[in-house]
Structure 1
Amino acid sequence: MSTSYKCPYCNICYFSNCNSYSQHVNKCINLYDVSTEESNTEVSEVTDTGRMEKNRMEFPIYEFSQIGYNDDFNRIEERQSVQEIENLPSGSEITDLFEYGDYDADASVSLEVISNIPERFEEILFENVENLQNEDSNIERLQNEDLDVRSESSRNKDSDVEEFPNESYADLMTLVTKYNLNNKAGNAIIKFFNKHFNLSISPLPKNIETGRKYMDKMNLSRLLYYKYRILLFVYDYKKLEIKNKQSYGEQYTGNWWKKVKESISSVAHILSIILYSDVTTTDTLGKRLLHPIYISLDNIPTWRRNKEGAKQLLGYLPILSAKNEREKKSSEFKKLVRETFHNSIKFLLDPLFTNDDNDGDGIELKIDNEIFWFFPRVSTIICDWPEVCTFSLTYKSTNSNYPCHFCLVSKENLNNTRLRDDQIVLRNKENMLQYYNNGTTEKASLEPVFNYFWNIPNINVYVATVPDRMHYLDLGLYRYQIEFTKKLLFEAEGRSLVNKMNRRITLILKHLELKIFSRGLQSIALLTADNYRNLIKVMVFVVDDLLNKDLLEVYVKWNEMYLLNRQETFKESDLKNFQEAIEKWANLFIKLFGQFLNSDFKLPKLHSWVHHIVDTICEFGAINGYTTETYEALHKTYVKIPYHLSNKKDVEEQMMKTIRRKAIIKQNDFKKKFKTPLKFNYSSKLFEFDISEAFEFIDKYKNETNLDEKMIKGLDHFIQSLDSYFDLLKISTAQGCHIKIYRSVTLENRAILRTTNMFHKRPWFSNISVTINDEELFEYQSDNGICYAQTLLITEVFLKKEKSLHLALVQWYDFISKRTPFVYGCPLSVTLENRAILRTTNMFHKRPWFSNISVTMNDEELFEYQSDNGICYAQTLLITEVFLKKEKSLHLALVQWYDFISKRTPFVYGCPLLKLTEVYNFIEIEAIEDIVHIVPRFDKTNEYLVNKYLF
């Protein structure tokens, strides 16, 4: 070899003069330091030194050695491969490569020695020149040693393992995998553990990359599937009747299942397959895309199928890239994209339908140790409109002659909500295949590509691509309604009216699981489906008396339609009511916003929802069975997180490794132990005092400047209300009574009642509903026996020789008018999920929050008060626990009551119309029916509406 100098760091570069050698070695030293510090994710396995291979993208692979130096720099500890394009990159490029590259080095490598390398460079160079022959012999020896190491590593790799070496090893990899930690963070944990435990032999891997590779070698027998207990698995069509009327709920009650069952052997069963496909972005800029496809079974009931464990990732469909914009727009490239998609679907599904002719073989499945004969059938395909066009091979342009994938309605009639059935020609396999065979696909706005689903039995792909609520309503039509509302307000009074709407949105009172937009609607384009669902719950109150009656009415009609579409079952009469609700909203939508629907702006989703959704329910059951909310959540698990953990090269392979590791952790992880909140579990004690010191104590603390006015009001009424409650219980003496006042308490239904000055910088005083006793029902105006109040204080009262009292001091709401107590057409009270939170706080995100509650009245009180079907409402002021000597402690909430404004009209648009009274009481926390959302009417004084649009 004619070269004189060989780099001892990269081990692949040779130089004929000292100057070139010096420059190169300085660069290699810096790169080595960068690689040690910045490496944080995985890449491919180590390759031989100096060997150049090509991956499937045909990029040459250059290799850098990760070297651990002693004084002679003659021992290679680890190696690291880095992919690069064509030539050796600059230092900054290498930094990027290493930042996302593999880190195979020992976590204990000494950076102190490395930092001294530049200072000793001249010495190294001099020794290198004088001892060239010794250097060559040393490198040869090291290469032989390296081959021995690789041989051992290969033997270990070939031998599969079934479990982690020890529990500590397993816990570390569980921590790293579950919380998506990169190598850098994981290695820091290893260093911390080894430093502070100082064990002679560490139970942990030498670095996280070693741990990941160990997991890749693990071969668990049950890794490819999980066993889930399915309490109900349906094999055959079930006719659903409610009150002797044909009804539709689960898919197996729909007409499609009935027709398929009649087409197969009587002793066979249907395996109903659901496909979900949606292109999703992997980065914040939306430049990188992946196309996952998932599968589930409609034999499983909806409530169980909507859990993540009832779905499975099939894989990632290929996405073709054009060389330039011209090629991307060419008809040849577009045709290739569609053919590639359908060929990929064919590759995935063909094994299920080979030799399947209804009387053919089908498949056999073992369920509960019994063999069943099934015929797999694709029932529904869930996706957004662009993907629907890909499956059905219809044109994606809304300006095409026939934009609807369901039918052949012309674009001129696409926004026509009054089409008759005889004006709609449905697409099916027969008429679309005829267009294809005749070479006239453009006449039906159909792509000239053979549709794979034409070969699959028992599926009309144009009907099976069902409208999805999230994409069609939340992110579709409702988004347009919000956008058009802003335009309408702007045209009416300019920016001022739009700003007024935004201010109203920010002033909506907080409620559990209701997200409030603290800055209004800044950018509609950034809103998610969940954001729109939260807007649906409050926009009726925002537009109330904002512009005109039609604007309010379109939101009322939308909510009526939206609540109906969420029903679990539909009778024929329900479908009729649903269709009427859709048409009422759609006609008002066109009337109000028609000016924004010009000839170039078509809404195929509006057409599909108006004319095809009811038929879809009859065919495939209730809409809840084919929504994409839970599928969208899978993108985070199977796309976004694995992608961000990759080094952006060979992405799919690395993502599958990450998913596999998570599956390993899932099998090895211990079952979660959920902490169940206990009844009357108080938290955050505010005050504690004896009853004998009550006046002095309250006078002292109510003057604190940081107390919310509601809490001050609760303290002002505390003693008087407690005396009244003692009289009610016939407690003759309060001697020895001890009182504790808390910020929050957990109710029996695990809801949390709060009365606090400061919860995330804002007060929170929970509103409650209280059921009225039967004897009181006719004394008060109520919401079907329910009264409403706001909690002011939560207290526990300890009495001698008595059980403690758990009380809440509340301020009652009352109906504003008996004539019109309800507005806005809302259904009955809200049923919150577990862990609902009742709040009474001065500051929650810089705003007070005193929860409103509903209280069920006793039967004897039902006729004494006007109520909402036996429910009264109040606002909580304080939550308290009263300790009495020889008595059980009292768990109470101090509340201020609401009342109906009018007895003649207690409801306006179906919602209770209330006013806040000056009536305060302690009530037992057990009496609280639920936490409710009460919204003040804008530009009105002491008028409140109970929000019944929560879902």
Structure 2
Amino acid sequence: LEGWNSYRDLEKFEQDCEVGEENEWHVAEIEIDHEVGFLTFKHRSIVKVLLAMFKTMSAVSGFAIEPEEWVVDGERRYSTPQNTDWMLMAWERVKKLGIVLAIILFSDQTNLSYNGRQSAHPFVMSMGNIPEWARWLEGGTELVGLLPNIPPDLKPEEKTRAFQQAADIFIEPLRRLSKLKGGGLEVEDSAGVCYRAFPLLYAYVTDHPESCKVTCTMACNSFRPCSICLAEKPRLAEVEDPIVLRTVRDQGRLYKQMESATTKKKLSALRTTYSTHFVKSLLWDWEFAKTIWGNTYLAVTPDIMHIIEQGFWLHAMKCLVKKLTPSERKILLERYKLLKAITPASLLRLPQAWVYFTTTANFSASEHRAMMQVLPLIIDLPERVHIRRAIVRIADWYKEFIRAEYHTDASLIRMETATVVMVKALVKAFPNQKSKWHIVKIHLLVHLPATIRARGLPQEYSSNTYEHSHKTTVKRPPVERTGRTSGTALSRSMCSMLWFASCLARLAVTRLTRPQ
């Protein structure tokens, strides 16, 4: 774990602590079909983490134990997990035995250093019972463990199998406790009141590549690249087609068919036809997973930050930049500079214009969001009318539906219609770019209305909360003694900064002393 940069709070590392029972960190390993043989990783007891989280966060205002259906003037509203269909259905089945703990999981590969040489794979847990704002607090989101860094030369199916084996070590205790027969655990709130609780999988927040590992499905280039439904790749942009969801029952039957396949050819045909790896998924054995409302494949929710803000927006902007001629780019640059000059900095966080219209690879979600508000004002070139319409559709759709405080049945119907219109506008604006900007990310938007009705607002599924938490406030695993401490890494960072400063100083001196 050496090499966390200062942004990850390097000083918070427990330098002199060793892994063991005393600090509740454990070492586990899995066997893989690779020359390295085994992968080693660290984790905590997820049950102890859950007990501590319940006791700490139950004192927070807005912490909910029972669901509450939100109806105003006869109209039902969908907002927090407590007023969603999922929570109401789960509560009806559990209330005679105890309470429901709505488990939220998050995992994603992340860099620990700016050059990308150090990386980790955090596995984070929170609860839907905790209000969204409180998940930013210490104790509201906890690091359960660090999944192993899988060798890149491993086959895709073996990568998925390694991920499933490691993640299963983390969450198997929760799956076992989710069972109504013989499951459940005693939890104590901040006031000392005890409850019988059943942890159920409410949401697994991931970007699309990670969701493929969770669901054991294949990636964007497969025949059925969606991890939620069975849409075929050539039909992903046809958002009005009927949706056939992946379910635990169907995927379990498919796994049994793969087990009974008599030849490699038949096994390969099943893999290709359904774009599914021959691996058991961690989603299968949860209580209520085989019901329609509790289908755990729907719990793997689209991560709003990666899929929308840094997903198809980013790809649409790249396509836009490629389409513009040098003269068009110059016109837009001049208009952009004028607009930025008269726009208060507090309203829009806009990047440097010349950089944005050259490359859009290194900008944040907030910067892309700001550009989506600005571009309709500056793109009015007659031959680019389709692009302007598409961008206007995206901006209007995002403002009305994603940033809404709540949704109603009527607004969800409007959202379904608006999503169809927006996707068609995007496809028309960039007709030859389907393979370049991930069309599967646009397709995932089709599932959002049903996700909101069943499991709450999209803000619940933005990884902003979970990434921020594991970077700044969660308790990290201790550093093992290897002869070098985190102070060494810090001194290296300081040396790099001093070297960079000296380079700038030499450059400045060279320019000043250059003969005129």
Q: Deviations over 1:112-139 (max 9, x none)?
A: xxxxxxxxxxxxxxxxxxxxxxxxxxxx
Alignment-derived partner of residue 427 in structure 2: 590
Alignment-derived partner of residue 500 in structure 1: 331
Q: Is the 8 A contact 2:100 2:199 kept in 1?
A: yes
- State, as a whole percentage, how many aligned pairs show the same letter: 22
Q: Is the 8 A contact 1:394 1:447 kept in 2?
A: yes
CA distance, structure 2, for counterparts of residue 533 and residue 385 of structure 1: 20
1:178/1:618 CA distance change after superposition, 3 Å? closer
Tell me how far 1:638 sits from its aligned partner. 7.1
Tell me how far 1:529 sits from its aligned partner. 1.6
CA distance, structure 2, for counterparts of residue 254 and residue 177 of structure 1: 36
SS state at 1:262 partner = helix
Tell me how far 1:268 sits from its aligned partner. 1.3
Q: Which has the higher helix share?
A: 2
SS state at 2:146 partner = strand
Q: Does residue 387 of the first structure (1) align with residue 210 of the second (2)?
A: yes
1:339/1:550 CA distance change after superposition, 3 Å? closer
Alignment-derived partner of residue 301 in structure 2: 466
Aligned letter for 1:316?
L
Tell me how far 1:557 sits from its aligned partner. 1.6
Q: Deviations over 1:894-938 (max 9, x none)?
A: xxxxxxxxxxxxxxxxxxxxxxxxxxxxxxxxxxxxxxxxxxxxx
Alignment-derived partner of residue 302 in structure 1: 132
CA distance, structure 2, for counterparts of residue 270 and residue 356 of structure 1: 9
SS state at 1:604 partner = helix
Q: Deviations over 1:134-155 (max 9, x none)?
A: xxxxxxxxxxxxxxxxxxxxxx
What pairs up with 1:303-322 in 2 under 5 angstroms? Answer: 303-307=133-137, 309-321=139-151
Higher relative contact order (CA 8 A, sep 6+): 2
Alignment-derived partner of residue 27 in structure 2: none
SS state at 1:314 partner = strand
Alignment-derived partner of residue 443 in structure 2: 607
Q: Does residue 530 of the first structure (1) align with residue 360 of the second (2)?
A: no
CA distance, structure 2, for counterparts of residue 516 and residue 532 of structure 1: 8
Tell me how far 1:480 sits from its aligned partner. 1.8
CA distance, structure 2, for counterparts of residue 586 and residue 631 of structure 1: 28
Alignment-derived partner of residue 567 in structure 1: 404
CA distance, structure 2, for counterparts of residue 542 and residue 649 of structure 1: 56
SS state at 2:323 partner = helix
CA distance, structure 1, for counterparts of residue 407 and residue 178 of structure 2: 34
Aligned letter for 1:301?
P
Alignment-derived partner of residue 348 in structure 2: 514
CA distance, structure 2, for counterparts of residue 248 and residue 312 of structure 1: 27
Q: Is the 8 A contact 2:301 2:451 kept in 1?
A: yes
Q: Does residue 370 of the first structure (1) align with residue 193 of the second (2)?
A: yes
CA distance, structure 2, for counterparts of residue 381 and residue 408 of structure 1: 19
Count residues with an aligned counterpart: 434
Q: Does residue 416 of the first structure (1) align with residue 238 of the second (2)?
A: yes
Aligned letter for 1:594?
P
Choose which of 384, 399, 420 in structure 1 pairs with 2:221: 399
CA distance, structure 1, for counterparts of residue 205 and residue 8 of structure 2: 29
What pairs up with 1:352-751 in 2 under 5 angstroms? Answer: 352-354=174-176, 356-367=178-189, 368-396=191-219, 398-419=220-241, 421=242, 424-439=243-258, 440-459=270-289, 460-489=295-324, 494-507=325-338, 508=340, 509-512=343-346, 514-520=348-354, 521=356, 522-545=358-381, 547-564=383-400, 565-597=402-434, 603-609=439-445, 611-637=446-472
Tell me how far 1:602 sits from its aligned partner. 5.1
CA distance, structure 2, for counterparts of residue 487 and residue 382 of structure 1: 32
1:371/1:615 CA distance change after superposition, 3 Å? same
CA distance, structure 1, for counterparts of residue 397 and residue 144 of structure 2: 35
Q: Is the 8 A contact 1:353 1:362 kept in 2?
A: no
Tell me how far 1:302 sits from its aligned partner. 2.1
SS state at 2:298 partner = helix
Aligned letter for 2:126?
S
Q: Is the 8 A contact 2:179 2:286 kept in 1?
A: no
1:514/1:357 CA distance change after superposition, 3 Å? same
SS state at 1:527 partner = coil
CA distance, structure 2, for counterparts of residue 354 and residue 405 of structure 1: 25
- What is the RMSD computed on CA atoms of the aligned residues? 3.7
Tell me how far 1:486 sits from its aligned partner. 1.7
Q: Deviations over 1:345-372 (max 9, x none)?
A: 2211222333653133401111121111
Aligned letter for 1:432?
Q
Aligned letter for 2:367?
N
Tell me how far 1:178 sits from its aligned partner. 11
Q: Does residue 340 of the first structure (1) align with residue 162 of the second (2)?
A: yes
What pairs up with 1:849-864 in 2 under 5 angstroms? Answer: none
CA distance, structure 1, for counterparts of residue 417 and residue 8 of structure 2: 48
CA distance, structure 1, for counterparts of residue 460 and residue 300 of structure 2: 13
CA distance, structure 2, for counterparts of residue 615 and residue 344 of structure 1: 31
CA distance, structure 2, for counterparts of residue 586 and residue 178 of structure 1: 38
Q: Is the 8 A contact 1:295 1:311 kept in 2?
A: yes
Tell me how far 1:306 sits from its aligned partner. 4.4
Q: Is the 8 A contact 2:125 2:141 kept in 1?
A: yes
Q: Which has the higher strand share?
A: 1
For structure 1, the residue ranges without an aligned partner over 5 or more in a row are 1-41, 44-99, 101-175, 183-208, 323-327, 659-951
Moved more, 430-439 or 507-516: 507-516
CA distance, structure 2, for counterparts of residue 436 and residue 592 of structure 1: 40
For structure 2, the residue ranges without an aligned partner over 5 or more in a row are 25-47, 259-269, 290-294, 491-516
Aligned letter for 2:364?
T
1:309/1:361 CA distance change after superposition, 3 Å? closer
Tell me how far 1:546 sits from its aligned partner. 7.1
Q: Deviations over 1:45-81 (max 9, x none)?
A: xxxxxxxxxxxxxxxxxxxxxxxxxxxxxxxxxxxxx
Tell me how far 1:343 sits from its aligned partner. 2.0
What pairs up with 1:206-217 in 2 under 5 angstroms? Answer: 213=16
Choose which of 283, 287, 296 in structure 1 pairs with 2:113: 283
Tell me how far 1:242 sits from its aligned partner. 2.5
Alignment-derived partner of residue 506 in structure 2: none
Tell me how far 1:180 sits from its aligned partner. 5.0
CA distance, structure 2, for counterparts of residue 277 and residue 570 of structure 1: 27
Q: Is the 8 A contact 2:229 2:246 kept in 1?
A: yes
Q: Is the 8 A contact 2:298 2:451 kept in 1?
A: yes
| TM-score computed with the length of structure 2 as normaliser | 0.75
SS state at 2:426 partner = helix
Aligned letter for 1:310?
G
Aligned letter for 1:506?
K
CA distance, structure 2, for counterparts of residue 500 and residue 344 of structure 1: 53
Alignment-derived partner of residue 815 in structure 1: none
1:478/1:282 CA distance change after superposition, 3 Å? same
Q: Deviations over 1:867-912 (max 9, x none)?
A: xxxxxxxxxxxxxxxxxxxxxxxxxxxxxxxxxxxxxxxxxxxxxx
CA distance, structure 2, for counterparts of residue 595 and residue 446 of structure 1: 28
Q: Is the 8 A contact 2:123 2:146 kept in 1?
A: yes
Tell me how far 1:304 sits from its aligned partner. 2.4
Aligned letter for 1:477?
F
Tell me how far 1:253 sits from its aligned partner. 1.3
SS state at 1:359 partner = coil
Q: Does residue 273 of the first structure (1) align with residue 103 of the second (2)?
A: yes
Q: Is the 8 A contact 1:414 1:604 kept in 2?
A: yes
Q: Is the 8 A contact 1:392 1:461 kept in 2?
A: no
CA distance, structure 2, for counterparts of residue 649 and residue 339 of structure 1: 30
Q: Is the 8 A contact 2:177 2:198 kept in 1?
A: no
CA distance, structure 2, for counterparts of residue 514 and residue 337 of structure 1: 41
Tell me how far 1:238 sits from its aligned partner. 1.9
